[in-house]
Structure 1
């Protein structure tokens, strides 16, 4: 049973870089990918058990001092976006919020509620401040038992999920080892804008992609890919990935639920992909900024049940991904032609998602970023790495579970579609709805 809890903010503090940003770095250009990114915050919650967090006598002091150190290396996060063209790196700093929660951590982990988890974040993820205010905000929530939840929000205008992961790895290295770059390669921060410079004509335009916000429900499911992957095997795809298998299952189930409410509607899945290792000039995975593309796959409105079986969907997804990398990414070699290709792709994506003519699902995977291994600030691995509820319709996000084998799926649908999904026997067979975070995962 979900337990309501209250969060009380005790203090807010500005954390500035430990050393001033040099004058030659004060004007940090956005890349065209950054310019076209929707206005919202990329966020994550890191939970630490009581015996872990209290092993450090001053956990919040450690977080603050190491945050100051890492901001000196990730200096754009301490600045402000100007005109959707550049960041004024004036060292105005990040916001650090201290809060207390009126219950033990176990009450949250026993029955995590996506909507309530938003209370543990320092700002609404949909806030327009993502393009006009602070680019980085942190909220340290201390529970009655001594447990700790660290909510991190970084403007999506400068950070995708990969960048957020890189930042947390640098931050935890600064806390644990005293060195931001320990164990990770961080290329020059302007790598993105040097290769894909911003377009002045995009400065005053409205965002091309506006994610639909309606009355939604977010639910968390945990699945074992080992149970699903064998059903997705085919001659065309003899070795489906666990992400492909899980995404195909979720899409099949939600499309079936939506058909009950909107018969005859096309179902379109857009799967986000990390472009860093796919560009003509390969970039390190730790390159900062937004390097996300996406390929689309469709279920026709007349498709019979046999035409949307897992192996068929995975085959279609694999083929769409192959065509995307073969036809689109070679055009992204840098320069004006590349910028126009990126703008065209964003415009097409925006038209699809906002047209209302299709049942559009936006899917992304955070699997493989290694946050459990990286987010050690001196009191061990997190007991849980989680997202929170969002208000964007038809969102599917995959996250690694702590054991490294299971996958958590954070699904946001309209209330009507979620009600229809509740009766889906296939989903109930493979997915556990919002299980407790196992006690064995807490050190």
Structure 2
């Protein structure tokens, strides 16, 4: 079956404001220091459902709207608006946006070879919209296909949402859709533990992520290839590598080699910065449903162009171990220590990111967030997808549909990607943008 062209018609047929189904407590909810320093973006994810269950896609859209209104009675801050320059959310029940769109093709046709520019149009707002700091905090786009299939694009302001928050919201929403009595409540610990600073004294070390003339590719590592990479990564230093360590180190190796070839600089060093969900590292641990941003990152440097997978995984593990032993402790040694730790980490991130003498890869793993459990009442999604970006050297990992493989969404400079397209080792382990079946 031929791929769907970029001219595929996606027609917006309605746009509504969804408010909590019952009035919620007035007032405001504070944002945390981590929220305050977060770039102005939306966190986005797409859930794709094949034709299944009772009713057509229009009936499913109605269920999405009614359950969204119900879940907003608990996640009511998502129906509010940011005020005080990213220091709090006014909980005023102004509502979230719900957009309904019709797609003039079948889901099977679109997913036979997913075209990333077409997928981008299934999201309700551009990821980089400045509205993330001043307007709608939650937007949903229900895309109805001719065959009865459905794709649900969700966008939440990064000012109060990381991958963990997105995961907990989606779990609460889908539970509500299946049974309104099962709604999960969010936890608001973070603003109390890490209150924001006066905006007049805040200098954000990472104002924005680097961009450029970039290309995005989607690679899928099936479970057998992930297992093989883990075996190849095993060493005395790391006897049991995780699947995230093995896959991210392998992609790092391939991308850095492509950059060296495109620059004509065989000894060019590189850094992999790996995002970390800090909730599980505090003592006591924070609940996974604590809303807001609570992400750190550790950095592994490689200056050896001959380094193999074992060595790169060893560097990742050593950097991770050092980070886990030091950074969370500093966050819990009092307000001054925490603020210093956060800004020092931000300054290091910015310094490495802006260093023209090395390649800086910013890696996030969404593996284990349970997005394939997002059942609104008509079954699990056939596919969970991301939005392509122009952020240079971005690496995002997420579970494949069988929960054993790994998808990698990789964004590089066009020149680097052209080199990577001829990397036989990468293509031996990963399939380039395969079709989705169910």
TM range (shorter): over 0.9
Q: Distance in 1 between matches of 2:57 and 2:3?
A: 30
Report the counterpart of residue 277 of structure 1 in structure 2.
Answer: 280
Q: Following TM superposition, by how much is the alpha carbon of 1:207 offset from its aligned partner in structure 2, in angstroms?
A: 6.3
Q: Following TM superposition, by how much is the alpha carbon of 1:174 offset from its aligned partner in structure 2, in angstroms?
A: 0.8
Q: Distance in 1 between matches of 2:300 and 2:112?
A: 37
Residue segments in structure 1 that go unaligned for 5+ positions in a row = none
Contact 1:94 1:137 in 2 (8 A): yes
Q: Following TM superposition, by how much is the alpha carbon of 1:204 offset from its aligned partner in structure 2, in angstroms?
A: 6.8
Contact 2:56 2:148 in 1 (8 A): no
Contact 2:74 2:186 in 1 (8 A): no
Q: Distance in 1 between matches of 2:58 and 2:215?
A: 39
Contact 1:35 1:202 in 2 (8 A): no
Contact 1:21 1:72 in 2 (8 A): yes
Alignment of 1:89-128 (within 5 A): 89-128=91-130
Pick aligned residue for 1:217 from 200, 215, 226:
215
Contact 1:232 1:245 in 2 (8 A): yes
Pick aligned residue for 1:289 from 288, 292, 301:
292
Report the counterpart of residue 40 of structure 2 in structure 1.
Answer: 39
Alignment of 1:353-364 (within 5 A): 353-364=353-364
Q: 1:269 to 1:143 in 2, by over 3 A?
A: same
Q: Following TM superposition, by how much is the alpha carbon of 1:79 offset from its aligned partner in structure 2, in angstroms?
A: 1.0
DSSP-derived class of the 1:153 partner: strand
Deviations 1:69-119 (A, max 9, x none): 111101111111111111111111100001001110011111012222110
Alignment of 1:175-254 (within 5 A): 175-181=177-183, 186-189=185-188, 191-201=189-199, 205=203, 208-224=206-222, 225-254=226-255
Output the aligned Cα RMSD.
1.6
Contact 2:57 2:148 in 1 (8 A): no
Q: 1:202 to 1:37 in 2, by over 3 A?
A: farther
Residue segments in structure 2 that go unaligned for 5+ positions in a row = none
Q: Distance in 1 between matches of 2:366 and 2:324?
A: 20
Q: Distance in 2 between matches of 1:255 and 1:240?
A: 21
DSSP-derived class of the 1:328 partner: helix
Report the counterpart of residue 350 of structure 1 in structure 2.
Answer: 350
Q: Which runs of 4+ in 1 moved over 3 A?
A: 52-57, 201-207
Aligned residues: 428
Q: Following TM superposition, by how much is the alpha carbon of 1:205 offset from its aligned partner in structure 2, in angstroms?
A: 4.9
Q: Following TM superposition, by how much is the alpha carbon of 1:53 offset from its aligned partner in structure 2, in angstroms?
A: 6.9
Report the counterpart of residue 403 of structure 2 in structure 1.
Answer: 404
DSSP-derived class of the 2:280 partner: coil
Q: 1:108 to 1:361 in 2, by over 3 A?
A: same
Q: Following TM superposition, by how much is the alpha carbon of 1:132 offset from its aligned partner in structure 2, in angstroms?
A: 1.3
Q: Distance in 1 between matches of 2:182 and 2:39?
A: 29
Q: 1:57 to 1:215 in 2, by over 3 A?
A: closer
Q: Following TM superposition, by how much is the alpha carbon of 1:352 offset from its aligned partner in structure 2, in angstroms?
A: 2.1
Contact 2:10 2:102 in 1 (8 A): yes
Q: Following TM superposition, by how much is the alpha carbon of 1:327 offset from its aligned partner in structure 2, in angstroms?
A: 1.5
Report the TM-score, using the length of structure 1 for normalisation: 0.93
Deviations 1:51-81 (A, max 9, x none): 3473687211110111011111011111111
Deviations 1:171-221 (A, max 9, x none): 01111011353xx5x4532x1000000001368756634111112111110
Report the counterpart of residue 160 of structure 2 in structure 1.
Answer: 158
DSSP-derived class of the 2:13 partner: strand
Contact 2:41 2:132 in 1 (8 A): yes
Contact 1:73 1:180 in 2 (8 A): no
Contact 1:208 1:346 in 2 (8 A): yes
Contact 2:187 2:289 in 1 (8 A): no
Q: Following TM superposition, by how much is the alpha carbon of 1:266 offset from its aligned partner in structure 2, in angstroms?
A: 2.2
Alignment of 1:388-427 (within 5 A): 388-427=387-426
Report the counterpart of residue 48 of structure 1 in structure 2.
Answer: 49
Does residue 62 of the first structure (1) align with residue 63 of the second (2)? yes
